[in-house]
Amino acid sequence: MTFVGKAITAVIIAVYGMFVVNLPDAPKPAKTVKTTVYAPATSVRIAPVASNPDPPAITTPLPAAGNCDAYVAIAAHIGWPPSTLDTLRLAMRLESGCNPQAVGDAGDSIGLLQVHCPSWGTPNSNWPVGWMQHYGFGTCADLYDPIVNLTVGLAIFEGWAGSTPGWHHWHALP
């Protein structure tokens, strides 16, 4: 065998040894399965609802319909981040005229933030008891209470439903 033949054979054996003979061990199965558990944001404090006998944290009478600034102050007390309050004021003005008794979408959207009851307050395939009920926010009738409406709105804004957090749920916003 010539020198070139011996060199080629040596290279082939070396390559074979690197890739075939020295195969890494097969991966071992994991001893535990890592799962992601959805946990809601912690900044939302669940306000009392009609079914809860505890008094609400705000003891003064609620503001008159149309008083957006007063409802923004309540939202700040509930836990809405300060950076969101101007957009919240606009959302309430566009959605309901800052009227906690406002009803839209043929009766489906309720309150200051026009929370869509069929999506958030009724049982469905994703939330067998209803999303609001699952988190203890009450029923659709409780959405007329501005404290409940703003608390539910904050939870929706923060992405408790597993959706992307933000303002995209309020279509009246520019």
pTM, two decimals, is: 0.65
Average pLDDT value for residue range 7-11: 69
pLDDT, tens digit, for every residue of 47-60?
444 444 344 455 56
**Measured torsion, CA atoms of residues 90, 115, 160, 43, in degrees rounded to the nearest 10:** 50
Instruction: Please check whether residue 103 is in contact with residue 112, taking contact to mean a CB–CB distance below 8 angstroms.
Output: no
Reduced to 3 states (helix: H, G, I; strand: E, B; else coil), residue 52 is coil
pLDDT at 86: 96
pLDDT at 90: 95
pLDDT at 22: 53
The residue whose two tokens read 């994991």 is: 30
Average pLDDT value for residue range 17-30: 54
Whether pLDDT at 132 is above 60: yes
Percent of the chain topping pLDDT 90: 37
Amino acid found at 15: V
Q: Report how far residue 148's alpha carbon sits from residue 56's, in angstroms, rounded to the nearest whole number.
A: 10
Query: Which range in 33-42, 83-92, 128-137 is most confidently predicted, on average pLDDT?
Result: 83-92
Min mean pLDDT across 18-22, 136-140, 146-150, 158-162 is at 18-22
Whether pLDDT at 170 is above 70: yes
Mean pLDDT of the chain: 78
